[in-house]
Amino acid sequence: MEEIRVYGTLIWYYHICQREVWLIAHQLEPDGENTNISIGRYLHEQSFSREKKELSFKHNRMDIYQIKDGKLVIGEVKKSSKFKKSARMQLLFYLYELKMYGVDAVGELLFPQEKGREEVLLDEGSMAELERIIEEIKRILQMGKPPAPDKINYCRNCAYAEFCWS
């Protein structure tokens, strides 16, 4: 049996919509013309031009990175702070993965449209929470079909809305 891979995007969506976690992990593509996806791509490409873009590690791609005072700083760029908990957990997951390989790093959440920046540090409590979430995501991914759709505020702007509600 193939190992189930949990990666940062799944951590992000776990805190928003568990159905979306299943859909993404099973390579069901969202509507590529969705406005929010287009805005996200644009922000990723245009924001923070001085930082190095995309650090790939294992099966994760971190938005930006730099070395500050001899320490690796991983940045996660988001359109807004509306889903700050999801963004924070995604960034903590990246820090957790790096730590498992002996790389000590800190994180920064970046919200360019709001000119916001927030430091994120991995601690024992967040590591335990991540381990619980990783197991829950693995359980979701092993399901034979996606969880039933659940109408939430996020659905209105979701790139999977047509898939779930048509």
pLDDT in tens, 6-42: 999 999 999 999 999 999 898 777 655 655 555 555 5
CA distances from 135 to 11, 15, 44, 88 (A): 11, 14, 29, 18
pLDDT for 20-29, tens place per residue? 999 989 877 7
Secondary structure letter of residue 30 according to DSSP: -
Rg (CA), the chain: 16
User: Which pLDDT value is given to residue 4?
Assistant: 80
User: Which pLDDT value is given to residue 156?
Assistant: 77
Query: Which residues of the chain register pLDDT less than 50?
Result: 1
User: Which pLDDT value is given to residue 36?
Assistant: 58
163: Cβ–Cβ under 8 A, 6 or more apart, which residues? 23, 28, 30
State how far the Cα of 73 lies from the Cα of 52, in Å rounded to an integer: 11
First to last CA, the chain: 34
State how far the Cα of 42 lies from the Cα of 23, in Å rounded to an integer: 24
- The CATH code that applies to domain 8-165 is 3.90.320.10
Question: What residue segments make up the domains of the chain, in order of their start?
Answer: 8-165
Describe the strand order of the beta sheet including 116-120 as a list of residue ranges. Answer: 52-57, 60-68, 71-77, 105-111, 116-120
